[in-house]
Each structure stands twice: as C-alpha cells, then as structure tokens.
Amino acid sequence: MYEQYVREQTSRQLKEWETAMNRRRWLPDHQQYGKVISHSLETPVVDIQHTETGTVVTISVKAYEREIDACRKQPNHTIKVDGQLYKLCADSERRVVPLVVQLESGERINTTNEIFDRCEMEELPRNLNHALNYGVANYAYNRGNYVETQDAIWEEQTAAGVEGWSPATHADGLKKGLPVRARRPIGKGTAELRMVNCAQRAVVVEYHHQPFFNPEPRLVKVAFRADGSIESVPLSDVMIWQRRYHGPERTVGDESRRYHPASMKRYVDVADPYDEKASSSDHFLDKYEKRHTADTVNEKYRTTKQITEIDKWTRHDTARADNYRPLSISHRRDYIRMGYMHRFTPWEWIAVQEADQPLIAEQIRQDNVGTSYFFSLNRYWRYKASPHGYIRHFENEVRDLVQFVDGVTPWKQAQKIRTYWEVRAHHPMPQFNRPEVAMHRNTMGLLPSHTWETDKKTGKVKAVKDSVRDYQTKTPYPKWVQL
C-alpha cells in the first residue's frame, strides 16, 4: 500500500514538473496553449510602416540591408516589400529570436520570442518545489523577522477573537495604570435606569479587590483620557484588552516569574508581602490601623522570612534546565568540535543571542507551531511510542500496517498470517487454564461438550461424535483479506 502511495505521489510530482518544464503559454489568437519546440539564432529586425494604410510590419535587417541603409541616409526613402511601399520606423531596430511553437492541436506556427513572451504563462502548481523545502514550515509572513512575526501573530489572534476588547471580570487583575475602555455615566437616573455613554478610553486609578470593601456593583475608579476626569464606574461597564482567552489574568501575556536563586538573601514580610505599610500613598484601610507602638514595630521581625523559607524547592524544581545550564562552555570547545554538545544551551550563548534581538517575555506571543520535526516519537528505541493492548482491537488498515512493516514478506503471503488471537479463536477448547496457574478455574462449561455424547443415567461418555474436526482447523480468513 505504501509503495503504491509513493508511486502515485511521485508520478503526480513528475507531472507537475513536466508542466513546469514545458513552459507553455496561452496564445489568445489561437485560443490554445503552445510550447516552444525549436529556436534559431538571434536576428536583428526592424519595423516598417505602410505608406498608405499605416500597417506596421517587422522585417529582417539582413534581407533588406541596402534599402535600410538608404533609408537611414534619406528619411523620405521608401522600401518596396512584396510590391508595397513602406517607410522605416525610426529607432525600431532590435534583436529577436525566431521560434517554432507547437500548439495543443499539433499545428506548428512561427513567431518570435517577443510575441511569445507577451502571452500569459500556464499556471504552475503551487507546491512545485515542495521536495526542496520538505521539512521547512511555510509561513505567510517572514518568520525570521522578529517584529513582523509578532505583528502577524497579533493580527491573527485579534481576528480570531483570542485578543481584543472584552468585558472585564473581577478575576482580570485590574491594577493601577491599566488602560481600559469604560462607559461614562451621564446624569443621574433611577437604580434600574442608568444612562451611560459609549465606551471611552480610560486608565484604572484604583480598584479594591476584596468584595467586602467593594460590594456589587463593583466600582472601578477610572481616569478618562479625554479630559482626565476621575469617576467611579461599575465593573460591568469596563472593558479590558484581553491578551489571552483563557486563564485568570487575561490582561497579561505569557510571563514567567520566579525568584532569582542566586540572590538567596531576600527578606519578605509575609504579613505584608507587597510592603504596603511602608508605601507613601494612603491606603483606604489606613483609618482602621492602630498607631505603631514599639511591639508592633517588632512584630515585623517575627513575620519576616527569607525567601528560601517561603518558596521552598522540591525535587521537581531541582531537575529544571536552569540549574544545569552552564554559564559558558568555552573551556570545552574541542568537545563541541567533536560533536559533543551540552544538554542545555549555555547562558553565555543565550545572552549573545538576546543582545542581538531581545526577547521580552511580556511582548512575545507564542505561536503554536505544531508538532516538532526534531523530536519524533520513534526517535529512540527505548521511549518509542509502541501500541498498547492487542492489535486485534485496531482498525483493519492500522493492523495491516503494524503487522507487515517488515518489508520482506510479500503482501499475498502476509495476508494469510493470522495473529495468535485469531488462531486461538478456532481452537476446540480455547479457554483452558493451565494446572500450575489456575486449575480451579477449569469448569465443565469450558469443555467442548458438543464433541461427545453423554449417557444421561451414568453421566459417562457414551460415544464420540464423528463430526469432530481435527485440531488443526483450516484457518478462515477475515472479510478484509483479498487473495
């Protein structure tokens, strides 16, 4: 089957090549395609115009050399061709190649390359060169250009609705300074009847996340861009630009944050991790806070921990690539020449690459390129993706492929090969438990009782039936076998 597929694909490919190599062009006056059979040497030609009708004719310079020279000397001189008078067109001398073109009908016509080249080429198959760039992904944009790639992905995501303006929810992490669009309230109405304007550009000034302090309708304090006025707008009237469709904080892109393990001496007050108490801006809960006394100041030291205590690593963290990534491997350049390469790209190389074209985590949108060409499941024998269970559970085509990939057994023979299960199904006593494993499972029901006759009174075997087939049955083939 696979060989047949390869044959068909190859012949299709060769047909496409043939189409391309013929370089046929559409000749409108004959209404059919024509291809060049032969071409002769390049010839100088010149245009001449009929003195009365104005018809332009192209003639070979060599055939009318004397007359053309005379025309060049005296502008009014005429050339007689086939009994008709013509005058020379100034500056029309050029070199053309005479061609013989064969039409689809088999008819042959003579033209020149300048006429033939004006005709439209036959449309070429699109993936003509697909064998040349076989494993190379094909993008509509220039994948090597960082900015263009990001733009293309951004446009695609926006068109697909992955990114775009969408109603804000409480989970979206509205933080100070986030650009949003909000509906500005106009005038006062009743509780049911709210009058609002269309959405305008604004920036979040403050949003209290705790529902206790900010109950429904959750109010967001927003500064409108147009006039800078600050108003409180219900959360349902705020729209955010979502960067991702799923996930809790849709406003942020893919970002990876973690503590830098080299700076182990970092202290965090777990009672106040963001250091809000020390901040100069006033907090809306400040009015409830007790005045600092000596012991509340000391409390801070009880709740302060080193980040190593807070963010403990487990054995899963220790195996991460970053911990094995060397700073540089310039000390083993010879190994690299020999083909040895460290498992993880050294930091030094990464720095060199990023200095060239910085990749900033927040602004990279990752394009899911699809399956990797470089890591195939069958790459390594040990972790090969081998099927589980029995081949008999697979669809027939899959089973055929799996059974006969050895490429040695001819297909006619291979169809006769039966799996262990198919043979066993025709055994006269297919379920028999071996005595050393599960003797007690052997019941009378398992015995092929249709092969003998029992005496009703004594329960002894009275006669063996004649129709008992030999243990070796003729293997019946399944329906899909074509012999």
CA 84 to chain centre: 68
- Distance, in Å, from the CA atom of 341 to the CA atom of 322, rounded to the nearest integer, reads 16
- Distance, in Å, from the CA atom of 202 to the CA atom of 206, rounded to the nearest integer, reads 12
User: Token digits for 136?
Assistant: 């190379």
Beta-bridge mates of residue 162 = none
Give the CA dihedral 69, 73, 79, 85, nearest 10 degrees: 170
- Distance, in Å, from the CA atom of 333 to the CA atom of 330, rounded to the nearest integer, reads 5
Q: Read off the pLDDT of each residue in 150-158 and give the average, rounded to a whole number.
A: 89
Question: Which residues contact residue 344 at a Cβ distance below 8 angstroms, ignoring those fewer than 6 apart?
Answer: 321, 324, 325, 326
Q: 132: closest CA among 22, 35, 7, 20? A: 20
Q: Read off the pLDDT of each residue in 346-351 and give the average, rounded to a whole number.
A: 76
Q: Which of 70-84, 200-214, 408-422 has the lowest mean pLDDT?
A: 408-422
Q: What is the pLDDT of residue 423?
A: 77
* AA letter at 441: R
Q: Does the pLDDT at position 471 exceed 80?
A: no
pLDDT tens column, 98-113: 999 999 999 999 999 9
Q: Judge contact between 50 and 57, C-beta under 8 A.
A: yes
Q: 307: closest CA among 265, 258, 262, 256? A: 265
Q: Does the pLDDT at position 258 exceed 50?
A: no
- Distance, in Å, from the CA atom of 418 to the CA atom of 404, rounded to the nearest integer, reads 11
- Distance, in Å, from the CA atom of 41 to the CA atom of 237, rounded to the nearest integer, reads 79
Which range of 244-258, 281-295, 300-314, 428-442 scores highest in mean pLDDT? It is 428-442
Q: Which of 64-73, 221-230, 290-299, 300-309 has the lowest mean pLDDT?
A: 290-299
Q: Which of 158-172, 349-363, 427-441 has the lowest mean pLDDT?
A: 349-363
Q: Which of 170-184, 210-224, 332-346, 420-434 has the lowest mean pLDDT?
A: 332-346
Q: Judge contact between 33 and 24, C-beta under 8 A.
A: yes
Transcribe 417-447 into DSSP letters: ---HHHHHTTSSS-----HHHHGGG--GGGS
- Distance, in Å, from the CA atom of 446 to the CA atom of 442, rounded to the nearest integer, reads 7
Q: What is the pLDDT of residue 392?
A: 56
Q: Judge contact between 242 and 251, C-beta under 8 A.
A: yes
At 223, is the pLDDT very low, low, confident or very high (cuts 50, 70, 90)? Answer: very high
Beta-bridge mates of residue 48 = 57, 88
Round the average pLDDT of the chain to a whole number and report it.
80
Q: Which of 319-328, 355-364, 443-452 has the lowest mean pLDDT?
A: 355-364
Give the CA dihedral 34, 36, 42, 43, nearest 10 degrees: -40
- Distance, in Å, from the CA atom of 478 to the CA atom of 481, rounded to the nearest integer, reads 6
Q: What is the pLDDT of residue 255?
A: 46
Instruction: Indicate the SS3 state at residue 95.
Output: strand
| Distances 31 to 100, 121, 124, 298 between C-alpha atoms, Å | 17, 13, 19, 97
Residue 407 backbone class (left: φ over 0; alpha: ψ -120 to 50; beta: rest)? left
Give the CA dihedral 54, 59, 65, 69, nearest 10 degrees: 30
- For 317, the enclosing helix (H) or strand (E) is helix 315-318
Q: Judge contact between 251 and 240, C-beta under 8 A.
A: yes
Q: Judge contact between 304 and 269, C-beta under 8 A.
A: yes
Beta-bridge mates of residue 36 = 101
Tell the residue number behind the tokens 């250091």, with chain if given.
275
pLDDT tens column, 443-469: 888 888 888 899 999 989 998 886 656
Q: Which of 189-198, 205-214, 430-439 has the lowest mean pLDDT?
A: 189-198
Q: Judge contact between 199 and 239, C-beta under 8 A.
A: yes
Q: Does the pLDDT at position 405 exceed 70?
A: no
Q: Does the pLDDT at position 304 exceed 50?
A: yes
Which range of 65-69, 380-384, 392-396 scores highest in mean pLDDT? It is 65-69
Map out the domains of the chain as residue ranges: 17-121, 158-242, 267-310
Q: Does the pLDDT at position 257 exceed 70?
A: no
Q: Which of 99-108, 150-159, 223-232, 274-283 has the lowest mean pLDDT?
A: 274-283
Q: Judge contact between 463 and 453, C-beta under 8 A.
A: yes
- Distance, in Å, from the CA atom of 126 to the CA atom of 413, rounded to the nearest integer, reads 41
Does pTM top 0.75 for this prediction? no
- Distance, in Å, from the CA atom of 123 to the CA atom of 130, rounded to the nearest integer, reads 16
Q: What is the pLDDT of residue 422?
A: 76
Q: Domain spanning 158-242: which CATH class is it, in words?
A: mainly beta
Q: Read off the pLDDT of each residue in 328-334 and give the average, rounded to a whole number.
A: 71
| More confidently predicted of 111 and 307 | 111
Question: Which residues contact residue 394 at a Cβ distance below 8 angstroms, ignoring those fewer than 6 apart?
Answer: 387, 402
Q: Which of 106-110, 198-202, 380-384 has the lowest mean pLDDT?
A: 380-384
Question: Which residues contact residue 270 at a Cβ distance below 8 angstroms, ignoring those fewer than 6 apart?
Answer: 303, 304, 305, 310
- Distance, in Å, from the CA atom of 238 to the CA atom of 166, rounded to the nearest integer, reads 9
Q: Does the pLDDT at position 361 exceed 80?
A: no
